[in-house]
Amino acid sequence: MFLRSALRDLLPPELRLFLRGLFGWLVAAFHPTATIIIDEYDGSSPNELYDAAQSYLGSRCLAAAPVVRLCKAHHTPHPVASLPTSHTAVDSFQGVPFRWTSRAVEHSTAASNAFLPYGHHRSTFAAEHRLLELSFHRRRHHAVHTLYIPHILDEADRLRLKARERRLYTNRAALEDDHHRLWSSVPFAHRSTFDTVAIDPALKDDLHDDLLRFAARVGRAWKRGYLLHGPPGTGKTSLVAAIANLLEFDVNDLELTAVTSNSHLRRLLVSTTPKSVVVVEDIDCSLDLSDRKKKKKTPKPGHENEPDRPAAVVLAAAAVHPHGVTAYGGGTVSLSGVLNFVDGLWSSCVGERLMIFTTNHPERLDPALLRPGRMDRSIHLSYCGLAAFRVLARNYLDVADGHELMPEEEALLQEVKITPAEVAEVLMGCKGDGADAAMGKVLEELRRRKADGGGSVKGEIKASKIEGK
């Protein structure tokens, strides 16, 4: 204590720092290896870095390992490898070697029993604490923290997204809702892709490029809004599934009639995971989101002296919506709440997200909902055209363009209004009868519709393009 006090008082601060650095250099020279311990749990919470490191090691370091642990979750396409206990793997990053060792430490029975619920048999309980040890040269300490560990986390996120079971979520009913279970889900297994969806090729290519352009913004949260509109049966739902499959996103099917308030709507948005498609189908039938200016110009019978009311929908128990949709729960979802949901401050807190609204009547929607930044693209899906019919024939019958009935059917499609869903229904009804019989049935249906006055669809098919908003 005397020598330490004397050195502190007599030596200048610069010399003390130099001696401390010299001592550290000498220690590093004799013990050049540094070790980072990554526990499986931080107290009672899982350690995200441990799971990320195991995923990373399973894809990068275990290809030539003599022993590998494999695990396959339900509905996942491929098994996942991890480093078994008491084994070592070597990794190389930017030419620097790193040594990973998996260990397991048994807790004492007394310490482990402290976390058991009351009434459990304490003498037979045993716990195992797992951890990973990362060893490297001391000179690489800064590179490990600034480059290597962030690289592991990013790579693990990519692997987790690729191997995960994609889900289709729907918001729970208001009477069943609680803070921790806002959504219920099932596996998402829709097989629609951009190769099988029956829409105009120019529209398909433009939409495909637009999606990939925004999805390529690595490391930056982005949101995108699409409005799909057109007659029923023109492929809006199939296009939504194709978009989700292209981006490998989960799907959140939002039922607005089950939302009780603007704050509830906000909570649903915040609880969605990044890399998800939020879909509101038939939005004009869910809430009264019609043009506010038209409401002011059109007086309601018997209410001439009443002041203008805000554009809101009051959801009362057993109340029937003006468009014929029964709403349940209690509360109010306003137009401003929907607008903030689409493009407010809270909408930027989720991460990569695509929001899609579908409607058969876009003219019923308030223009504020359709402005740029909320609905970035307005996509019109029209009746079955020539290219869409070729896709359907290939999907259902494996028929190429050279079928003898194809020219007459394509000529009729320019004169008759028929949706891709109706064509698909005819083709499915002929399953087992052969391609010739199915093509003949489609030709009969087109001739019948023309005789009944199917009308002209010239211009309708040309309108099936993306309109920049």
What phi, psi does 353 have (nearest 5°)?
-155, 140
Q: Left, alpha or beta for 114 (phi > 0: left; psi -120 to 50: alpha)?
A: alpha
Which position has the higher pLDDT, 445 or 67?
Answer: 445
SS3 424: helix
Please state whether beta strands 466-468 and 69-71 pair in parallel, antiparallel, or not at all (unpaired).
unpaired
Nearest to 80 by CA among 51, 102, 108: 51
- This prediction has a pTM of 0.65
Whether pLDDT at 45 is above 50: yes
User: Quick one: 407 exposed, middle or buried, by C-beta within 10 A (0-12, 13-18, 19+)?
Assistant: exposed
Which position has the higher pLDDT, 14 or 384?
Answer: 384
Q: Convert the pLDDT of each residue in 127-162 to its tens digit.
A: 678 899 999 988 888 899 999 999 999 988 888 777
Q: Which two tokens stand for residue 280?
A: 């509101």
- Residues 182-204 have a mean pLDDT of 89
CA distance 89 to 73: 24
Q: What is residue 364's predicted lDDT score, i.e. its pLDDT?
A: 84
Half-sphere exposure of 388 (CA within 13 A, CB side): 28
Nearest to 371 by CA among 343, 336, 350, 346: 343
Give just the sign of the alpha carbon dihedral 71, 77, 78, 80. negative
Q: Which two tokens stand for residue 360?
A: 């058969």
Q: Which residues contact 203 (CB under 8 A, 6 or more apart)?
A: 379, 464, 465, 466
Name 462's bridge partners: none
- CB 271 within 8 Å of CB 183: yes
- CB 210 within 8 Å of CB 376: no
Q: Which residues contact 468 (CB under 8 A, 6 or more apart)?
A: 377, 378
CA distance 193 to 436: 26
Q: Convert the pLDDT of each residue in 275-306 to its tens digit.
A: 889 999 988 776 666 655 655 555 545 444 44
Q: Which residues contact 176 (CB under 8 A, 6 or more apart)?
A: none
CA distance 11 to 99: 41
**Which CATH number describes the domain made up of 167-193+207-297+310-380?**
3.40.50.300
DSSP state for residue 261 in the 8-state scheme: B
SS3 358: strand
Which position has the higher pLDDT, 163 or 379?
Answer: 379
Q: Convert the pLDDT of each residue in 213-232 to its tens digit.
A: 888 775 566 788 899 999 99
Q: Convert the pLDDT of each residue in 305-364 to its tens digit.
A: 444 443 333 333 333 333 333 333 345 777 777 877 777 666 666 668 888 999 988 888
Whether pLDDT at 206 is above 70: yes
Q: Left, alpha or beta for 275 (phi > 0: left; psi -120 to 50: alpha)?
A: left
Whether pLDDT at 123 is above 50: no
Name 167's bridge partners: 187
Identify the top-confidence range among 45-59, 231-245, 309-323, 356-370. 231-245
Nearest to 381 by CA among 444, 464, 453: 464
Strands, E assignment, 113-173: 128-137, 167-171
Name 466's bridge partners: 379
DSSP state for residue 146 in the 8-state scheme: I
Half-sphere exposure of 133 (CA within 13 A, CB side): 13
Please state whether beta strands 88-93 and 80-82 pair in parallel, antiparallel, or not at all (unpaired).
unpaired
Whether pLDDT at 207 is above 90: yes
Q: What is the mean pLDDT of the chain?
A: 77
CA distance 92 to 101: 14
CA distance 349 to 158: 20
Q: What is residue 122's predicted lDDT score, i.e. its pLDDT?
A: 46
Q: What is residue 350's predicted lDDT score, i.e. its pLDDT?
A: 63
